[in-house]
Structure 1
Amino acid sequence: MTPPAAASPDDGYLLDNARSEAGARFDALRELFDSSTFRHIDELGIAPGWRCWEVGAGGTSVVNWLAGRVGTAGRVLATDIDTSWACDAAGGVVDVLRHDVGRDRSPGGAGFDLVHARLVLVHVADRQRALRMMTESLRPGGLLLVEDADPALQPLICLDEHGPEQVLANKLRSGFRALLAARGADLAYGRKLPRLLREAGLTGVRADAYFPIASAACDVLEAATVRQVRDHLVAAGLATDEDIDRHLANVASGRLDLATSPMISAWGRRPAEPGPA
């Protein structure tokens, strides 16, 4: 396993993995989305001996689960712009590499049985290049699973906006979306995935969506996210410190019934190479 490395300050991503709030965000994302991700990968037929690439791993929950599925005969490559979490990755099966899928060259040739990215490409400026790299990294017959948010499809964090607490929550969510858009995020990216996978040449493309509502993990995710972007919200005039303090207190009360943006999962297969004539 390669030594961990920290992300540089000019990586440009709003939700910097080096920030102290990142751990709470990863824990909440794991609780909210791992079961859906694991179901999809199991249904795609993952088996011992597979070679997998986890793009933008961000943490170890998916990486270590993949390692358990592929066993000692397989390999898992886990990449991210910040690999400080790497010491918790499963030894012997997992290789960790600092890599920016939006900027760097392919890290592993064209031999992966499975390439997976979750909540990654929506934040990448050159998404087209990244998706092409991921597709070209598949072996013939290999599978690509991309799971990404679509904040524009459902822009509210409080679906039941029945009082001032919910109005404030949705105001801050609107501000957060504005910050993401200013960093180049495509807030309508999730819905495009089926078309983009077909245009990339994949076959058998399918998709579905997962949409947690009123989970304790939604509260944890929101509090960590708002704390992480607090200075950006205030500097951009999108919220005041008083707004943010009041909202964090409201979240802590557990009465807001928070939601997440829909996560759209899309998958397809690289066509097998034709046999000899």
Structure 2
Amino acid sequence: MTITTTGPESSQYSFSNAAPEGDEQLRLLAGILDEHSTAVLGRIGITAGWHCLDIGPGAGTITRWIAERVGPDGHVTSLDLDPRHIPAAGNITVRQGDVRSAELPADHYDLIHARLLLLHLTDRDAVIRRLVAALKPGGLLVTSDWDTTRRDVLLHAPDEACAAAFDAFQDALLGILEDNGADLGWARRAPLSLRAAGLVDLRTEVSNRLWPGGTAANLLHVSNSYQLRDPLLARGVTQEQLELVRAAMLDPQALAYCYPTYTSIGRRPTH
């Protein structure tokens, strides 16, 4: 997905589903996040017949998971600017569109789910208000985003040169996201945005774990180093540093935390 706007409130999603690394990146994100997402969604009581909206669905794994639970009498709409990785199914409609401007039916959805989307949008509060209006009274909004304000995610690297290269890579990567309009710490503040939009019964679950080299969260750094190679080099990271990062993230002795995932849930009041 690539998000672009014009004007002072501009934002641009820093990755592209169409890039050569796009498919691999989305596969890795699912491997990192799906266990947490399905655990949280499983506890909110999705039932047969629900109508749901999945925004920025990536590889479509959560779209399909929800579709299985709402059954043939329910329905899931999967909305993305570039939904090329999401196959349609009997109770799944795939829509290409921008959540900031796409037509959303009022008072329609039992559940709206958005993962790794809102932190990238400078106008996220306006988007949240649009989503709340699309919920049925009593419907649930579930947002998941990473808090990337902590830079010390690397616990152990093969050597000091790899550790220094990883730090430079992280600083540049997060700088690129900020340049494109991302708010790296918004995930922690998400409940305030949900409350300001009128949602109640707010709760947030935080998830993180340690990953050895060669597993999904560290392979994501490798994928990102290829997809964002040119802007990383433009911010001063050297090709040698990128190669050190890739080698370190493949080394099973390396240990790194992922970014903590904050999943916030709010319910639209019934009256």
Q: Alpha-carbon deviation of 1:30? A: 1.1
Q: Alpha-carbon deviation of 1:257? A: 0.9
Match of 1:258 among 256, 260, 266: 256
What is aligned with 2:97? 99
In the alignment, the residues of structure 1 paired with residue 40 and residue 4 of structure 2 have an alpha-carbon distance, to the nearest angstrom, of 34
In the alignment, the residues of structure 2 paired with residue 8 and residue 204 of structure 1 have an alpha-carbon distance, to the nearest angstrom, of 31
- CA deviation vs aligned residue, 1:219-257 (integer Å, no higher than 9, x gap): 2211111111111111232x0112112221222223321
In the alignment, the residues of structure 1 paired with residue 165 and residue 34 of structure 2 have an alpha-carbon distance, to the nearest angstrom, of 29
Q: Alpha-carbon deviation of 1:8? A: 8.7
2:82 paired with 1:82: yes
What is aligned with 1:50? 50
What is aligned with 2:204? 207
2:141 paired with 1:127: no
SS at match of 1:258: strand
What is aligned with 2:8? none
In the alignment, the residues of structure 2 paired with residue 191 and residue 9 of structure 1 have an alpha-carbon distance, to the nearest angstrom, of 24
In the alignment, the residues of structure 2 paired with residue 13 and residue 83 of structure 1 have an alpha-carbon distance, to the nearest angstrom, of 14
What is aligned with 1:270? 268
- CA deviation vs aligned residue, 1:40-90 (integer Å, no higher than 9, x gap): 11111100000000011111110110110000000100001101113x34x
What is aligned with 2:219? 220
In the alignment, the residues of structure 1 paired with residue 96 and residue 104 of structure 2 have an alpha-carbon distance, to the nearest angstrom, of 10
Q: 1:76 is aligned with what amino acid?
A: V
In the alignment, the residues of structure 2 paired with residue 7 and residue 206 of structure 1 have an alpha-carbon distance, to the nearest angstrom, of 30
Alignment of 1:22-41 (within 5 A): 22-41=22-41
Q: Alpha-carbon deviation of 1:170? A: 1.8
In structure 2, the gaps of 5 or more residues are 6-10
Q: Alpha-carbon deviation of 1:265? A: 0.6
Question: Structure 1 vs Structure 2: percent identity of aligned residues?
Answer: 29
Q: Alpha-carbon deviation of 1:32? A: 1.3
The 8 Å contact of residues 144 and 267 in structure 1, kept in 2 or not, is answered as yes
What is aligned with 1:148? 145
Q: Alpha-carbon deviation of 1:164? A: 2.7
In the alignment, the residues of structure 1 paired with residue 15 and residue 67 of structure 2 have an alpha-carbon distance, to the nearest angstrom, of 26
Q: 2:125 is aligned with what amino acid?
A: Q
Q: Alpha-carbon deviation of 1:160? A: 4.3
The 8 Å contact of residues 106 and 133 in structure 1, kept in 2 or not, is answered as no
Compute the TM-score of the two structures, normalised by the length of structure 1: 0.89
Compute the TM-score of the two structures, normalised by the length of structure 2: 0.91
SS at match of 2:58: coil
